[in-house]
Amino acid sequence: SQQGEEDPQALSIQEGENATMNCSYKTSINNLQWYRQNSGRGLVHLILIRSNEREKHSGRLRVTLDTSKKSSSLLITASRAADTASYFCATDLIQGAQKLVFGQGTRLTINP
Amino acid sequence: EAGVAQSPRYKIIEKRQSVAFWCNPISGHATLYWYQQILGQGPKLLIQFQNNGVVDDSQLPKDRFSAERLKGVDSTLKIQPAKLEDSAVYLCASSQSRGTSERKTQYFGPGTRLLVL
């Protein structure tokens, strides 16, 4: 069963704009991770946020986590054509188990 | 550092045939995962190994799927017999088994795209 649900399922914006994707989950988590998948390729880890953290930054990426609402958001600022990909949130439920449960993803298209 | 290697990249078979996928993880990674990703969905964990032992295979359809990691390095995933609904991308990932959550990040291979006709 899917733990995380991303919203929206698809997003299309102009290059240079910011893109925001949301993820909701159902049960308590150890941490939440975001991955990117380019067409026809494997997943690339972007960022991890622990359950006791509220916000984290990495380059043009900003992730927030609200454990009371069981939700997270991924913000990509100043988007580029190369950001076109599918983005997945994955929840790590049990400390030490390294078992990720992925959502269905958001398909992001950056238009030049 | 070499990434996770998988082969073949593509495979087309007819239903009821058998197929095998191979994965070579990042050197030194004790934990290895196989995922199934159906088109339009996120990856679903099939099996997780720690060295050559199975940690979790709760979502592996054991009547037709099998996996092994005999020497704790390379792994193979087999489907026999294949069904139409097995058409998917099969992803292999590996990670370190010790340390912080950040150190245990999963690294994915390019995947094997399987089409069952």
Q: Using one digit for the tens of pLDDT, what is the confidence trace for A84-103?
A: 999 999 998 876 667 899 99
Chain B: give the shortest CA distance to residue A84, in Å. Answer: 16
- Tell me the three-class secondary structure of chain A, residue by residue: CCCCEEECCEEEEECCCCEEEEEECCCCCCEEEEEEECCCCCEEEEEEEECCCCEEEECCEEEEEECCCCEEEEEECCCCHHHCEEEEEEEECCCCCCCEEECCCEEEEEEC
Q: Using one digit for the tens of pLDDT, what is the confidence trace for A7-33?
A: 899 999 999 999 999 999 998 888 999
Q: Which residues contact A59 (CB under 8 A, 6 or more apart)?
A: none
Q: Using one digit for the tens of pLDDT, what is the confidence trace for A28-64?
A: 888 999 999 998 778 999 999 999 999 999 999 999 9
Q: Which residues contact B107 (CB under 8 A, 6 or more apart)?
A: A45, B3, B4, B26, B29, B93, B94, B95
Q: Does B56 touch chain A (CB under 8 A)?
A: yes
Please answer yes or no on whether A98 and B108 come within 8 Å at the CB atom. no
User: How many other CB atoms are there within 10 angstroms of residue B61's CB atom?
Assistant: 14
How far is it, in rounded angstroms, from Cα B55 to Cα B33?
10
Cα distance from N-terminal residue to C-terminal residue, chain A: 36
Q: Residue A2 pLDDT more than 70? A: no
Q: A44: which chain B residues are within 8 Å (Cβ-Cβ)? A: 108
Res A43: pLDDT: 94
Of A45, A99, A102, the CB nearest to B43: A102
Please answer yes or no on whether A42 and B43 come within 8 Å at the CB atom. no
Residue located via tokens 């006709």:
B117
Q: Using one digit for the tens of pLDDT, what is the confidence trace for B3-44?
A: 999 999 999 999 999 999 999 999 999 999 999 999 999 999
Mutate which: B33, B106, B114, vs A, most A CBs within 10 A:
B106
Res A72: pLDDT: 97
Mutate which: B32, B33, B108, B114, vs A, most A CBs within 10 A:
B108
Of B52, B48, B50, B78, nearest to B66 by C-alpha is B78
Res B101: pLDDT: 77
Q: Does A41 touch chain B (CB under 8 A)?
A: yes
* CA geometry: angle B54, B59, B62, nearest 5 deg: 75
Res A95: pLDDT: 65
The pairs formed by A93-96 with CB atoms below 8 angstroms and a separation of 24 or more are A93/A3, A93/A27, A93/A28, A93/A29, A93/A30, A94/A30, A95/A30
Of A41, A45, A98, the CB nearest to B31: A98
Chain B: give the shortest CA distance to residue A40, in Å. Answer: 8
Of A98, A103, A105, the CB nearest to B104: A98
How far is it, in rounded angstroms, from Cα A91 to Cα A88?
10
Nearest C-alpha in B relative to A87: B42
Q: A42: which chain B residues are within 8 Å (Cβ-Cβ)? A: 4, 91, 93, 108-111
Res A3: pLDDT: 66
Q: Residue A6 pLDDT more than 70? A: yes
How far is it, in rounded angstroms, from Cα A47 to Cα A42?
16
How far is it, in rounded angstroms, from Cα B19 to Cα B36?
14
Q: Does A30 touch chain B (CB under 8 A)?
A: yes
The model's confidence at residue A78, banded by pLDDT at 50, 70 and 90, is: very high
Q: Using one digit for the tens of pLDDT, what is the confidence trace for B44-84?
A: 999 999 998 999 999 999 999 999 998 889 999 999 999 99
